Structure 1
Amino acid sequence: MSKNLLLILTRNPELGKCKTRLAAKVGDKAALDIYKFLLDQTVAFTKNLNVEKWVYYSELIWEHDIWDSSIYQKKLQVGKDLGERMMHAFEEGFRAGFDNIIIIGSDMFHLNQKDLEEAFSKLDQHDFVVGPAEDGGYYLLGMKSLQRELFQNKAWGTNTVLSDTLSDIRDADVHLLQEKNDVDYYEDIKDIEAFAPFLKHIQE
Structure 2
Amino acid sequence: MAENRLVVFLRAPRLGAVKTRLAAEIGAEAALAVYRFLVARTFDVLSGVANVELRFTPDDAEAEVASWRGETWRLIPQGDGSLGQRLERATAAAFASGLKRVVLIGTDCPELTLRDLEAAFEALVTNDLVIGPASDGGYWLIGLRQPCSAIFTDISWGSSEVLKETLTKARDAGLKYTCLRELGDVDTASDWQRYQTSGQ
Same fold (TM over 0.5): yes
Q: Distance in 2 between matches of 1:125 and 1:104?
A: 20
Measured at CA, do residues 64 and 102 of structure 1 come closer, stay the same or move farther in structure 2, by a change above 3 Å?
Answer: closer
Match of 1:57 in 2: 56
Residues 64 and 148 of structure 1: CA distance in aligned 2, closer, same or farther (over 3 Å)? closer
- The CA deviation at 1:187 is 1.3
Matched-pair identity in %:
32
The equivalent of 1:47 in structure 2 is: 47
How many angstroms apart in 2 are the aligned matches of 1:13 and 1:163?
30
Q: Distance in 1 between matches of 2:24 and 2:198?
A: 16
Equivalent residue for 1:110? 111
CA-to-partner distance for each residue in 1:12-53, whole Å, 9 max, x for gaps?
A: 01100000001010100000000000010111001211x311
| Displacement of 1:194 | 6.9
Aligned residue number for residue 35 of structure 1: 35
Segment of structure 1 superposing worse, 165-174 or 133-142: 165-174
Indicate if the aligned counterparts of 1:10 and 1:55 stay in contact, CA closer than 8 A. Answer: yes
Q: Which amino acid aligns with 1:28?
A: A
- The letter of the residue matching 2:11 is R
Give the structure 1 partner of residue 181 of structure 2. Answer: 178
| TM-score normalised by length of structure 2 | 0.92
- Unmatched runs of 5 consecutive residues or more in structure 2: none
CA distance in 2, matches of 1:42, 1:12: 15
Paired residue for 1:83? 84
The alignment partner of 1:190 has SS state of helix
Aligned with 1:13: secondary structure?
coil
Instruction: Give 1:110 deviation, angstroms.
Output: 0.6
Unaligned runs of 5+ in 1: 197-204
Deviation, structure 1 residue 195: 9.6
The one-letter amino acid paired with 1:19 is K
Please tell me the residue identity of whatever aligns with 1:86: L
- Is the Cα contact below 8 Å between 1:79 and 1:85 reproduced in 2? yes
Counterpart CA distance in 2 for 1:194 and 1:12 is 27
CA contact (8 A) 1:94 1:145 kept: yes
Q: 1:116 and 1:192 mapped to 2: Cα distance?
A: 20
Deviation larger for 72-81 or 5-14: 72-81
Question: 2: CA distance between counterparts of 1:115 and 1:131?
Answer: 9
Residue in structure 1 matched with residue 26 of structure 2 by the alignment: 26
What is the CA–CA distance in structure 2 between the aligned matches of 1:140 and 1:66, rounded to whole Å?
Answer: 20
Q: Counterpart of 1:8?
A: 8
CA distance in 1, matches of 2:40, 2:184: 17
Which residue in the other structure is 1:120 paired with?
Answer: 121
d(CA) in 1 for partners of 2:195, 2:128:
34
CA–CA separation in structure 1 for the residues paired with 2:20 and 2:95? 32
Q: 1:192 to 1:138 in 2, by over 3 A?
A: closer
Q: Structure 1: how far apart are the matches of 2:175 and 2:115?
A: 25
Q: Across the two proteins, how many residue pairs are aligned to each other?
A: 194
Q: What's 1:157 paired with?
A: 158
Deviations 1:132-185 (A, max 9, x none): 111111110011111101111011000111011000112321111001111111
